[in-house]
Amino acid sequence: MYKVFVNDRPLFLTNQVQKETDFKLFLLESIDIKKLIVKMFQNKIQQAFLYHPDEKLIMKTLKAKLPVVKAGGGLVYNTKGEVLFIFRNGKWDLPKGGTEKNETMEETAIREVEEETGVTGLKITNKLQKTYHIFKRNGRYKLKVTYWYEMQTDFNGTPQAQEEEGIEKVAWIKPEEIPTVLANSYENIKLLFEGEKVV
């Protein structure tokens, strides 16, 4: 099953039909995806399930309905075990951004973390799950697929927020403060910490 976020509301892509009745279930093959997205952005639908019988084709079917944008980002730890967060649009987020021509996803993730935070000396230590969310740009809905990597750094300078990207601040967050920060973050960012041992 995949979770795709629309305005921080979950759209579940599944090959299982659930028995509960408090959500909408649609057939992925025949759904007018744009109408569904508009209803989710307008808060008319809180969550929905898109059903497709073949699990291997679920994401492929969604990608055929929406333009796909790829991004890379980092869950960065320093030597004290603190996590690097950025603050933008009134919420805490992790540094990430779109891929450039001829870049690998790993290169994208490292470049974006460096550009958005000024933190250098990054080493990828683990590949994390991908996250999916739908956004609107220039009047069109797009599916953003973000490839996340766990990174380590021994950087001990002062992080610098990339203001032209709308980033207001960059902060190293202590492990015990992460739940408080996540309370004012995005659902797809929270997913990255579900497997982590957050105190």
pLDDT for the residue numbered 20: 59
The pTM is what? 0.90
Q: Are residues 56 and 75 in the same domain?
A: no
User: pLDDT (tens digit, 9 = 90+) per residue, 18-44?
Assistant: 665 566 788 899 999 999 999 999 999
Q: Are residues 90 and 161 in the same domain?
A: yes
Position 12 pLDDT exceeds 50: yes
Asked if residue 199 belongs to a domain, the reply is: no
Average pLDDT for residues 158-171, to the nearest whole number?
A: 96
Q: Tell me which of 183 and 199 has the higher pLDDT.
A: 183
Position 153 pLDDT exceeds 50: yes
pLDDT for the residue numbered 21: 56
Q: Are residues 35 and 88 in the same domain?
A: no
Q: Which of 73, 74, 76 is nearest to 97 (CA)?
A: 73
Q: Which of 78, 83, 82, 108 is nearest to 93 (CA)?
A: 83
pLDDT for the residue numbered 81: 96
Q: Are residues 146 and 190 in the same domain?
A: yes
Q: Are residues 164 and 153 in the same domain?
A: yes
Q: Are residues 97 and 134 in the same domain?
A: yes
d(CA 15, CA 51): 6
Amino acid found at 58: I
- 65 to 32, 53, 134, 143: CA distances (angstroms): 9, 17, 12, 9
Q: Are residues 58 and 95 in the same domain?
A: no
User: pLDDT (tens digit, 9 = 90+) per residue, 167-194?
Assistant: 999 999 999 999 999 999 999 999 999 8
* CB count in 10 Å sphere of residue 116: 25
| DSSP count for the chain of H helices, then E strands | 5, 11
